């Protein structure tokens, strides 16, 4: 059932030609602009960009519908845990969604800061599928930006972490099937609230 979690949202991208109906998702968002950044202009970050993520979070995750990408699936709850490993050089996190079936879909992400490039080199992997999801992340001092490939799906995602505090953050992802020429906005949405340090 792991395939139902992340690829469900990605499959909505196959329907780019279907006009979207104006319907708000239940996971809140600041606007309808999507992640809204140029994925080709990689910025710079700092080694502390993901310190806020360390700890345990409960989140609500929502995807666009496969059959009608103008609509959203019901929101799913999950747990996101992050910790520093390898002498504090790696941020390792587990994104665990409780599926409607009662099973859990897990994605593990490894984030390493590259001091020469001043960006975060990222590798995610879906635990049950073994598919690696490479990416690059940076910050502007307020938001975090991530460009990540989903090679098994032929998808490119641009992701923004925003409205970040010690207790809460919002997260949104746009998807592209043509290498970033066109984007479907807000394919995935997350609202996270801290439950433990």
Convert the pLDDT of each residue in 63-99 to its tens digit: 988 778 788 988 989 999 999 999 999 999 999 987 7
First to last CA, the chain: 30
pLDDT over 70 (residue 6): no
Buried b or exposed e, range 25-62, using 16+ CB within 10 angstroms? bebebeeeebbebebeeeeebeeebbebbebebebbbb
Q: How big is the chain, counted in residues?
A: 197
Whole-number mean pLDDT of the chain?
86
Query: What 3-state class would DSSP assign to 41?
Result: coil
Query: Tokens for 86?
Result: 């390898």
The answer, yes or no, to whether residue 177 has pLDDT greater than 70, is yes
- Which residues, at least 6 apart from 62, have a Cβ–Cβ distance to it below 8 Å? 25, 26, 27, 72, 73, 74, 75, 76, 188, 189, 190
Average pLDDT over residues 24-38: 88
What pLDDT, on a 0 to 100 scale, did the predictor assign at position 67?
79
Q: 19: closest CA among 166, 169, 184?
A: 184
Lowest-pLDDT choice from 12-21, 41-50, 93-102, 129-138 = 12-21
Q: What is the pLDDT of residues 112-159, one digit of tens each?
A: 999 999 999 999 998 878 899 999 999 999 999 999 999 988 899 999
How far apart are the C-alpha atoms of 137 and 117, rounded to whole Å?
11
pLDDT at residue 8 above 90? no
- C-alpha 81/C-alpha 25 separation (Å) is 24
pLDDT at 164: 98
Across 41-47, average pLDDT: 97
Q: Which is nearest to 91 in space by CA: 99, 104, 81, 77?
A: 81
- 72 DSSP assignment: B
17 has a pLDDT exceeding 70: no
- The pLDDT of residue 152 is 85
Residue 21 pLDDT > 50: no
| Residue 1 CB coordination number (10 Å) | 12
% of the chain with per-residue pLDDT over 90 = 67
In sequence order, which residues have a C-beta less than 8 Å from that of residue 15 and are 6 or more positions away? 66, 67, 68, 69
Q: Would you list the DSSP string of 128-144?
A: TT--EEEEEEEE-SS-E
Q: Which domains does the chain have, with CATH numbers?
A: 2-17+44-196 (2.40.128.20)
Residues 100-117, mean pLDDT to the nearest whole number:
90
């Amino acid at each position: 059932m792991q395939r139902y979690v992340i690829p469900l949202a990605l499959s909505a991208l196959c329907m780019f030609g279907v006009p979207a109906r104006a319907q708000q998702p239940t996971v809140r968002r600041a606007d309808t602009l999507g992640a809204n950044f140029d994925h080709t202009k990689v910025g710079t970050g700092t080694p502390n960009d993901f310190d806020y993520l360390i700890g345990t979070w409960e989140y609500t995750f929502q995807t666009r519908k496969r059959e009608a990408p103008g609509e959203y699936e019901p929101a799913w709850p999950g747990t996101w845990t992050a910790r520093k490993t390898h002498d504090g050089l790696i941020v390792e996190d587990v994104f665990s969604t409780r599926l409607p079936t009662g099973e859990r879909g897990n994605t593990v992400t490894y984030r390493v800061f590259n001091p020469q490039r001043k960006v975060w080199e990222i590798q995610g992997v879906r635990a049950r599928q073994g598919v690696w999801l490479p990416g690059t992340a940076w910050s502007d001092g307020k938001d975090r930006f991530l460009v990540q490939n989903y090679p098994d799906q032929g998808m490119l995602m641009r992701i923004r972490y925003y409205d970040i505090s010690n207790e809460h953050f919002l997260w949104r992802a746009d998807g592209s099937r043509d290498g970033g020429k066109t984007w479907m906005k807000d394919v995935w949405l997350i609202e996270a609230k801290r439950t433990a340090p």
